[in-house]
Amino acid sequence: MYFEVVNQLNQILMDAASALSPEAKEKASDLSFTPARDPEHGDLAANAAMVLAKTVKKSPRDLADVFVKALSASPLVARAEVAGPGFVNVFLSNDILVESLKRILTDENQFGRSKKYAGKKALVEFVSANPTGPLHVGHVRGAVVGDSTAELLAAVGYEVTREYYYNDAGVQMQMLGRSVQARYRQLFGREAEFPENGYKGDYIRYIAAALKTARGDALLPEESWRPFTEFAADILMTIIMDDLRKLRVRFDATFSERSLHESGEVQRTLDRLKDKKATYEQDDALWLKTTEYGDEKDRVLVKSDGEPTYVTPDIAYHCDKYERQYDKMVNVMGHDHHSQCERVKIALSIFGFDLSCLHYLLNQMVSIERGGEKIKLSTREGQFMTLAEMADELGADVTRYFFAQRSYNTQMIFDWDLAKKQSMDNPVYYLQYVHARACSIEEKARERGIQPAPDLRFDASPLSGDRERLLLLKLFYYPLVVMDAAERLEANLIPSYLEDLAKTFHTYYQVQRVLDQDDPVGTQARFHLVLAVRQVMRNGLGLLNVSAPDRM
RNA sequence: GCGCCCAUAGCUCAAUCGGAUAGAGCAUCUGCCUUCUAAGCAGAGGGUUGCAGGUUCGAGUCCUGCUGGGCGUACCA
């Protein structure tokens, strides 16, 4: 409904502008209405007159007058006026807002969703932590941002694949295996030297114990670290996926680095880079000429010992993504990887891939504040907040919401004490309370025999009051918020909107009785309004994968 | 040194991709429960958007230069 209305109004602007001059016609496609911030500015506002004033050589206000005249003829428009320096403000007819309300009740779970990108494929790669230990807070942020973004893309029509890429090859995995191997030998009382930079966490001991249970002493004579790595990686991946499930995060696919080596993709990628004359050999190593693309120094692709560096399989992986032909690829990772991304992008552009469909969401660091002091998070010191701890102590709803609420692009301080509070201070409950409250009203209504009108035919005139209209408008905007959030890849727009809607609803509830025995017509109308608010709240929370409880 | 990102109320964060008088929540203060959930609502105080310039009808948002912080800058991943 929102888009139908705005498109119609935009068309009126375009037609009016096109009639003025050829130059104006060229610019006309940029003209667009957006929701007005201030109720006094109407429901929708357009800056078209100010944008076009110069090309048409007219004053913005005179030009705005032209638009207002054209808009006033539309049945969608109750009133249009010129305001301020030349804004065109439109007040929508109540009929349209009521139509939108009915659309919500008809579309239910589908309201706010769109088919705009139907037929397009999107890949969201996120978390992608190596299976060398349990997930910690930083990964939680990535998990929530990635999963919410995937949900949003699906909401606007994309066929979305959630993918987890993990490095199961290379030095770190070797270290993991050797750490387990040492612990395993120690379990049998053997002398075993623990590797210098090995993983010291307790979970390594558990894995060793599990290995002993599974295989007994069969691996004692084993010299190679490989079987230990394999065993440990399997267990850790299982733990990681179990932990993620606690946050309601599930993946459609995992992609292993090792498979890229085994299939020859890594070698093929190197060959192709050589063909492009983008590499050279020096000191027994193979280098990529990244300086030709603005890097401060060239980067090593293959070390002098013949092993590829981290970036090489990563390039191969991204080539594979491109070959799988996605319309949009989103990579969610920690900001500390940004220089890594740049190198991958350089390689991709050498191959001539279109970088505009590849989006990196680099989320900034998270610190946790608890009891008034910041908790230092350091994996090396073995001091970290794990995903499991967060999910168990705070629950999936709170954990997810706190991360979804903030832009991924800013460093964030996680207020543990607030998250822990089960009260009105906690924004999650504030939103959920809207839903529970609406459910409660519905229950009371049904007790009194009040039900949704058949075919939604009810007298909507009681909804033309200022307070009702305000709610109708917020509901009307919802599809735009979803579209914006999806197109801009900013999931945090959803919480902002929902908090605004919640505030408006709670205020309304306080001043206006919904079920009023002395006013059956008003009751019927307001009842539908409440059901619509509940539906939108439920849909919005659903995009964040946060639950909408019937009771609290 | 160089690169990326950030700086908004005492605190945590928004601000419809350049729009109208910069908004919420927490904290502080003042009110509101015989009637659908007070896990709520109303009101008050709190700001030179780090600093200085520039671009234009219009800048928290864009460009330049500073200041202050985070991260990166490996033949680690």
Q: Identify the pLDDT of residue A272.
A: 95
Report how far residue A115's alpha carbon sits from residue A119's, in angstroms, rounded to the nearest whole number.
9
pLDDT in tens, A97-106: 999 999 999 9
- A78 pLDDT band, cuts 50/70/90, is very high
Report how far residue A46's alpha carbon sits from residue A92's, in angstroms, rounded to the nearest whole number.
13
Protein-to-nucleotide distance from the CA of A149 to the C1' of B15, whole angstroms: 21
Tell me what the mean pLDDT of segment A103-118 comes to.
96
Q: Identify the pLDDT of residue A378.
A: 53
**A463 near A101, Cβ under 8 Å?**
yes
Closest protein CA to C1' of nucleotide B57, residue: A50
**A63 near A56, Cβ under 8 Å?**
yes
Quote the tokens at residue A375: 């908790």
Tell me what the mean pLDDT of segment A242-263 comes to.
95
**A288 near A273, Cβ under 8 Å?**
yes
Quote the tokens at residue A242: 């179990």
Q: Exposed, middle or buried by CB within 10 Å (0-12, 13-18, 19+), for A326?
A: buried
**A23-37, A112-126, A532-546: which has the minimum mean pLDDT?**
A23-37
For residue A422, is pLDDT > 80?
A: no
How many residues are given for chain A?
A: 552
Quote the tokens at residue A366: 């998270």
Q: Identify the pLDDT of residue A380.
A: 47
Q: Is the CB of A484 within 7 Å of strand B?
A: yes
Percentages of chain A per state (helix, strand, coil), in multiples of 5: 55, 15, 30
- A372 pLDDT band, cuts 50/70/90, is confident
Tell me what the mean pLDDT of segment A161-179 comes to.
92
Three-state secondary structure call for residue A414: strand
Protein-to-nucleotide distance from the CA of A125 to the C1' of B11, whole angstroms: 34
pLDDT in tens, A270-297: 999 999 999 999 999 999 999 988 888 8
pLDDT in tens, A375-403: 766 554 455 688 999 999 999 999 999 99
- The reply to whether ipTM tops 0.85 is yes
Q: Identify the pLDDT of residue A423.
A: 73
| Amino acid sitting at position A364 | Q
Q: Which residue has the higher pLDDT, A184 or A27?
A: A184
Q: Identify the pLDDT of residue A21.
A: 84
For residue A174, is pLDDT > 70?
A: yes
Quote the tokens at residue A256: 């292993």
Average pLDDT, chain A: 92
Q: Is the CB of A415 within 7 Å of strand B?
A: yes
Q: Is the CB of A100 within 7 Å of strand B?
A: no
Task: Measuring from the CA of residue A339 to each C1' atom, give the nucleotide at the shortest distance.
Answer: B72
For residue A231, is pLDDT > 60?
A: yes
Domains of chain A: 2-92 (3.30.1360.70), 126-253+364-420 (3.40.50.620), 423-543 (1.10.730.10)
Q: Which of A343, A341, A327 is nearest to A123 (CA)?
A: A327
Q: Identify the pLDDT of residue A444.
A: 94
pTM of the prediction? 0.94
How far from chain centre, in Å, is Cα A435? 22
Q: CA torsion sign, A512 to A514 to A520 to A521?
A: positive
Q: Is the CB of A272 within 7 Å of strand B?
A: no
State phi, psi for A413 to the nearest 5 degrees: -105, 115
